[in-house]
Amino acid sequence: MDAPAAPPAAPPAEPIDKPADQMTTDELAAAVRYHNWRYFALADPIISDYAFDALTRRLTALAPEHPALAELTAAGGGGERVFHDTPMLSLDKAYDEATVHKWADAFEGPIVESPKIDGVAASLKYDADGRLVQAVTRGDGARGEVFTANARFIAAIPQRIGAGPVEVRGEVYQPLSVFRERFAADFSNPRNTTAGAIKQKEAERTAAYGLLFFTYAVLGREFETVTERMAWAEAHGLPVVPCALMDKGDVQAGYDAWLAKRAALDFEIDGVVYTADRIAEHARLGATAHHPRYAIAYKFQGDSGTSTIERIEWSVSRSGAITPIAVIAPIELSGAMVSRCSLHNLAILAQLGASPGAQVTATRRGGVIPHIESVVTPGPEPAEVPALCPVSGHATEQVGDVLMCSEPHHCPAAMLGTLEHFTKSAEIDGFGPKIMAQLLEHGLVREPADFYRLTVDDLQRLERLGRKSAQNLVDNVAGARTLPLARFLRSLGIESLGAVAADKLAEAFKTIDGVLGASVDEIAQVHGLGELTGRLIVHGLATRRELIANLREFVTIEAFTAPAAVIANDSPVSGRSFVFTGKLASMDRKAAQEMVKARGGETPSGVSRTLDFLVIGDDGSALLSGGAMSSKHKKAEQLVAEGAGIRIISETEFRAMCGEGRDTPPTP
Ligand code: IVH
C-alpha cells in the first residue's frame, strides 16, 4: 500500500470476510475502503499489504473506474500541504521472478538493486547554498505535508549538503532496535511511529524517535546512471539506501539474499526495488500515472497466514506479569516458522476472543514479532484465566488488564528475570546466564542487593571462575554504586516502568522518595502515563518495597537534574554509548569522544553487551571498502549475533547523528 489516502469522515462499515476472488464489486469496494481507513486513520492495519494489494487489484480488474479506487489517491487533511514539483509516484509491483524479467526486457543495461524500505517517503529540498529549506511527505503523490521543522530534529538528515539547488527523495524510518526497545509496547509498527514522529507539533519531540533517513533519488541534477547519482548523494553526506549494480540475470539471487538477510536488518523492508541503471532509458520508458516504468518493486509475500490455536500458555515475566501466549499450529510467515504468539494481556485476549480451537490470522509485526491479528472462527469455549501462578503456585491477581503473580519475588521465573534485568539496566557487565544460574543455585544472589554483597571468595567458589574474573565481577558491581534515579527505577523490572516512563517519573518527582510517595493519580497525571500505568507502577513499587530498601543500603540514587543544554538532550547521541574503532578519516579519536560527551553521550573503554554504537572509522573501513575487521568490530558482531542491541555504524553516519555534514568542519 503506497498511496496515502484521505480517510473518510465516518468509519466505513466492517466488510464481509471472504476471499477476494469470491467478492462482488461492492464487497470489494467496502473491503478496500475499510482496510484503507484502518491503515491511515487508525494506523492499525489488520491485513497485510499483500492482501490489500490483492483486493485493489481485483477491484481494478472488475471496476477500474470505481470511486473507492479514486479515494485511495485523494488528498487528506492534516498540516500544511504543498504540491510536489514532480509527482512522487508509486512503484509497480511484482510477486514473482517472471514478472520482473518481463519488466527488465524493456530496457538496455544493468539494474540497480535496493531494499524497499517500509518507512515514510519524503522529499527534501536544498537551496542554491545547499541548505535544507523544505521537507515534505509523499502524501498522495501529488501533494504532501510539510514537516521541515521536524526534519531539523532528524539527525540523519543533513541540514547542509554543500551543493544545490537539488531535491532529494528517500525514506524516513525508525530503526527496529529503537522501535523494539522503546515503542513496540505502544505502536504496532515502526512506520506508524515514524509517521507520528514527523507530525509532532513541538518539532523538537521528533528527536526522541531516533529516526534515520535513506536517500533513493536526487532530482534537479544531470546524471548518466543511477549509480552516479547515488555516489553523488553519498559524496554530499547523504545517507544512501544500500545499492548494488547487477546484471538482469541476477535479480532472483539478489531478492533471495535480501529475504535471507531480512530478519537481521535494523530496518523493515517489504521487498526489493529494481531500477534501470541508465537514465537515458528512464526517459525513453516514461511513466504511467501511477508508477515509472524504469523501476519495479519485487515484493515479499506470505506475511500473513491462517492457523489454529492449539492451547494457551501462561508465561511469567520478571515483573511477575503473567502473559497469555497462543500456541498455534506452526505456519511459515516471512520465511520463518511461527508457533507462539504473545497475546499481551487479558484485555487483548478478551478483545480478540482468542481461545483454544479458534482459527486465527497471524502476522509478524515489524516483519519479526509473531502476532495474532484476528480471530476468524472462535473456539468452542472462552480461554480460561489461571487462578494460580503457573511457576510459583501463588494466587494470581488482576491489576488493570494485566494478570500478576501475587508473590513475584518468591517466584523462580520472576527472580531470575529480575536479576538479569537489574544487571542489564544498572550496566553491570559480566553476569552471563551461566554465572547467574550458578549464583541462584548456590543461593548467593536472590535479589538485586545481593550483587553488592558478593565477595571475590564467594565468586571463586563458582565453577570455572578464576580469581581475576571474580575480581572483575566485584569491580563491575562496585561501578554501579551510584545510579541516576531514572536508571534505578528502570532497573527494578516493574511492569510499565521501562525507559520512557522511568525518565518521566524521574523528571516529575525528582527523588526516589518523591517517586515512592506518589499516588496512582499523581503518576497518572504525568504527561503520557495515564491511569493503568499509574496503577501498575504503584503496585510494582509496593511489592518491591523491601527489595528497594535493601538496594538503598548499597546504592546512592542520584536525584533528577535537568540536562544542562537542550541541544544535548535532543541529540540522538544523548544517553547513548559510543566506542570508536579503526582510523577515523575526519578527526582523531579524542575529538570524536568529545563530540559524544558534548551531546550527553558516553564513551566506555571497550565493547560490551550494553554498548549502543560501535563507530568504524571511514579510513580503510571494513564497512565501506572491505578493509580488515578490528577485534572490537569482531567482538561487537559476535555480541550482536548473541542478541545484543549494538549498532555498528560508519564514521559518516556518526557525524550525521551529531548533526555534522561532510562539508562542515568537525567541531573539536
Ligand atoms: S525508488 C535507487 N527505492 O516505495 C532507485 N523507492 O511503492 C530508487 N521506497 O513511495 C527507486 N524503498 O517511498 C525506491 N529503495 C527504494 C525504496 C523506495 C522504499 C518507497 C518509496 C515509494 C514507495 C513506492
Nearest ligand 1 atom, CA 295? 11
* 192, 114: one domain: yes
The answer to whether the beta carbons of residues 612 and 181 sit under 8 Å apart is no
| pLDDT single digits (tens) 502-521 | 999 999 999 999 999 999 99
Query: Separation of 118 CA from ligand 1 center, angstroms?
Result: 9
Say if residue 230 is in the same domain as residue 159: yes
pLDDT of residue 659: 77
Q: Whose alpha carbon is nearest atom 1 of ligand 1? A: 216
Overall number of domains in the chain: 6
Listed as own residue / partner, the contacts of 635-641 with beta carbons closer than 8 Å and 24 or more positions apart are 635/607, 636/607, 636/611, 639/607, 639/608, 639/609, 639/611
Q: Which pLDDT belongs to residue 635?
A: 87
Distance 418 CA to ligand 1 centre (A): 43
pLDDT at 49: 62
Residue 540 C-alpha cell reads as: 510494582
- Classify the C-alpha dihedral 244-249-253-258 as positive or negative: positive
Residue nearest to atom 8 of ligand 1 (CA): 216
Nearest atom of ligand 1 to the alpha carbon of 169: 13
Q: Give 523 or 196, the one with higher predicted confidence.
A: 523
If one compares 485 and 418, the residue with the highest pLDDT of the two is: 485
Give me the pLDDT at residue 453, please.
94
Q: Ligand 1 mean position to 326 CA, how many Å? A: 36
135 and 240, same domain (yes or no) = yes
Give the residue carrying C-alpha cell 477491484: 59
Last residue in a domain, options 372, 405, 438:
405
Mutate to test the pocket of ligand 1, among 93, 117, 232, 300 (most ligand atoms within 8 A of CB): 117
Nearest CA to 169 among 79, 241, 261, 108?
241
Lowest mean pLDDT among 307-311, 352-356, 528-532, 602-606: 528-532
Q: Is residue 619 assigned to a domain?
A: yes
Question: Do 475 and 487 fall within a single domain?
Answer: no
Give the mutation target among 234, 273, 282 for probing the ligand 1 site: most ligand atoms within 8 A of CB.
273
The per-residue pLDDT for 573 is 85
Within a domain: residue 422?
no
pLDDT band at residue 626 under the 50/70/90 scheme: low
Mean pLDDT of 544-552: 93
> What is the Å distance from ligand 1's center to 295 Cα?
9
Q: Closest ligand 1 atom to the C-alpha of 297?
A: 7
What's the CATH code of the domain at 509?
A: 1.10.150.20
Between 36 and 655, where is the model more confident? 655
pLDDT band at 299 (very low <50, low <70, confident <90, very high): confident
* Residue 2 CA, closest ligand 1 atom number: 7
- In this structure, the answer to whether residues 469 and 487 fall within a common structural domain is no
If asked whether residues 28 and 151 sit together in one domain, one would say no
Q: Are residues 227 and 106 part of one domain?
A: yes
Query: Which ligand 1 atom is the nearest neighbour of the CA of 229?
Result: 2
Whether residue 665 is predicted with pLDDT greater than 60 in this model: the reply is no
Ligand 1 test: best mutation among 72, 89, 116, 285, most atoms within 8 Å of CB?
A: 116
In a domain? residue 10 = no
Question: Do the strands 482-484 and 556-558 form a parallel or antiparallel pair, or are they unpaired?
Answer: parallel
Mean pLDDT of 142-156: 92
Pocket around ligand 1 at a 6 A CB cut-off: 2, 90-91, 112, 114-117, 121, 138, 171, 216-217, 226, 241, 243, 273, 275, 295, 297
For the record, the C-alpha cell of 257 comes out as 539474499
- Between the alpha carbon of residue 391 and those of residues 80, 310, 344, 371, 410, the distances in Å are 55, 21, 18, 24, 10
- Supply the pLDDT for residue 133: 92
Cα 33 to averaged position of ligand 1 atoms, centre (Å): 24
Cα 127 to middle of ligand 1, angstroms: 23
User: By alpha-carbon position, which residue is closest to atom 22 of ligand 1?
Assistant: 90
Evaluate if residue 162 carries a pLDDT over 70: yes
* % of the chain residues with pLDDT over 90: 44
Average pLDDT, the chain: 86
Residues in Cβ contact with 576 at an 8 Å cutoff, skipping those fewer than 6 apart: 601, 602, 612, 613
Phi-psi region of 495 (alpha: psi -120 to 50; beta: other; left: phi over 0): beta
Question: Could you tell me if residue 396 is inside a domain?
Answer: yes
pLDDT band for position 174 (cuts 50, 70, 90): very high
pLDDT(19) > 80: no
> In this model, does residue 357 exceed pLDDT 80?
yes
Give the CA radius of gyration of the chain: 26
Give the C-alpha separation, 212 to 119, whole Å. 10
Full residue range of the structural domain in which residue 644 is found? 578-657
**CA gap 215, 652 in Å, rounded:** 14
261 Cα: distance to centroid of ligand 1 (angstroms): 19
Is 434 within a domain?
yes
**Given pLDDT bands bounded at 50, 70 and 90, which one contains residue 79?**
low
pLDDT recorded at residue 78: 39
pLDDT: which is higher, 302 or 46: 46
pTM, to two decimals: 0.45
How many whole angstroms from 153 Cα to the centroid of ligand 1?
A: 23
> Has residue 8 got a pLDDT over 80?
no
Centre of ligand 1 from the C-alpha of residue 52, in Å = 19
Task: Point out the ligand 1 atom lying closest to the alpha carbon of residue 116.
Answer: 12
Q: Look at residue 593 and tell me if it is in a domain.
A: yes
Flag whether pLDDT at 296 surpasses 90: yes
| Ligand 1, atom 9: closest residue by C-alpha | 116
CATH of the domain at 29: 1.10.287.610
Q: Which three cell numbers stand for residue 564?
A: 544542562
| φ, ψ (nearest 5 deg) of residue 351 | -60, -40
Whether residue 12 lies inside any domain: the answer is no
Strand partners, 370: 364
Atom of ligand 1 minimally distant from the CA of 93: 7
For residue 99, pLDDT over 80 is answered with: yes
Mean pLDDT score, 649-657:
86
Shared domain check, 487 and 471: no
Taking residues 317-346, what's their average pLDDT? 86
Burial class for 461, CB neighbours closer than 10 Å (0-12, 13-18, 19+)? exposed
The closest of 486, 480, 481, 479 to 560, measured between CA atoms, is 486
Res. 76: pLDDT tops 80: no
Ligand 1 atom closest to residue 243's alpha carbon, by position in its atom list: 2
> What mean pLDDT is predicted for residues 149-166?
91
User: Cβ neighbours of residue 167 under 8 Å, at least 6 residues apart?
Assistant: 85, 86, 123, 124, 125, 126, 218, 219, 220
The three-state (H, E, C) secondary structure of 79-108, written as one string: CCEEECCCCCCCCEEECCHHHHHHHHCCCC
Average pLDDT over residues 546-554: 94
| Separation of CA 9 and ligand 1 centre (Å) | 30
In DSSP terms, which residues pair with 143 in a beta bridge? 83
> Is 149 found in the same domain as 255?
yes
SS3 content of the chain, % helix, strand, coil (to 5): 35, 20, 40
Q: Give the pLDDT score at 10.
A: 63
Ligand 1 centroid from CA 20, angstroms: 27
261 assigned to active site: no
User: Is the pLDDT reported for residue 276 higher than 70?
Assistant: yes
* Same domain for 642 and 512: no
Across residues 256-260, what is the average pLDDT? 91
Q: How does residue 3 score in pLDDT terms, banded at 50, 70 and 90? A: very low
User: What secondary structure letter does DSSP report for 266?
Assistant: S
Pocket test for ligand 1, best of 112, 114, 123, 213 (most atoms within 8 A of CB): 114
Question: What confidence tier does 359 reach under pLDDT thresholds 50, 70, 90?
Answer: confident
Residue whose CA lies nearest to ligand 1 atom number 21: 121
**CB contact at 8 A, 420 and 445:** no
Q: 293 and 440 in one domain? A: no
Collapsing DSSP to helix, strand or coil, 528 comes out as coil
Residue nearest (by alpha carbon) to ligand 1 atom 12? 116
Which has the higher per-residue pLDDT, 489 or 331?
Answer: 489
Task: Report whether pLDDT(302) > 70.
Answer: no
Average pLDDT over every residue of 311-318: 89
Between 227 and 76, the higher pLDDT residue: 227
Residue 661 has pLDDT above 70, yes or no: no
Stretch (H or E) spanning 53: helix 49-62
User: Probe ligand 1: pick from 216, 267, 275, 293, max atoms within 8 Å of CB?
Assistant: 216
Query: In this predicted structure, what is the pLDDT of residue 618?
Result: 85
Least confident of 149-158, 366-375, 632-641: 366-375
Task: Let me know if residue 376 belongs to a domain.
Answer: yes
- What secondary structure, in 3-state letters, does 7-46 show? CCCCCCCCCCCCCHHHCCHHHHHHHHHHHHHHHHCCCCCC
Q: How confident is the model at residue 638 (pLDDT cuts 50, 70, 90)?
A: confident
Q: Is the pLDDT of residue 650 over 90?
A: no
What cell does 25 get?
Answer: 464489486
Nearest CA to ligand 1 atom 13: 121
Which residue, 252, 282, 299, sits at the end of a domain? Answer: 299
pLDDT of residue 304: 75
- For the ranges 207-216, 242-251, 404-413, 473-482, which has the lowest average pLDDT? 404-413
User: What pLDDT, on the 0 to 100 scale, is given for residue 47?
Assistant: 79
* Contact residues for 561 (Cβ-Cβ < 8 A; gap 6+): none
620 three-state secondary structure: coil
Grid cell in block for residue 445: 544472589
571-613 per-position pLDDT tens digit: 788 888 999 998 888 888 888 998 888 888 888 888 888 888 9
CA-to-CA dists, residue 294 to 53, 110, 118, 298, angstroms: 21, 12, 20, 13
Name the DSSP class of 583. B
Between 337 and 213, residue with greater pLDDT: 213
**What would the pLDDT profile of 427-486 be if each residue is shown by its tens digit?**
999 998 889 988 988 889 989 999 999 999 989 888 888 899 999 999 999 999 999 999
Residue that wins the pLDDT comparison between 562 and 124: 124
Which ligand 1 atom minimizes the distance to the CA of 118? 19
**For a pocket test of ligand 1, which of 73, 91, 278 has the largest count of ligand atoms closer than 8 A to its C-beta?**
91
- Alpha-carbon gap, residue 54 to 303, rounded angstroms: 13
Q: Which pLDDT belongs to residue 301? A: 66
Question: What's the 160 CA to ligand 1 centre distance in angstroms?
Answer: 23
Active-site pick, 116, 125, 299, 635: 116
Q: Are residues 105 and 248 in the same domain?
A: yes
pLDDT tens across 110-141, in order?
999 999 999 999 999 999 988 899 999 998 88
User: Could you tell me which residue, 363 or 173, shows the higher pLDDT?
Assistant: 173
Question: Which of ligand 1's atoms lies nearest the C-alpha of 170?
Answer: 13
Query: Can you list the alpha helix ranges (DSSP code H) found in 338-479?
Result: 346-352, 412-425, 433-441, 449-453, 456-460, 467-478
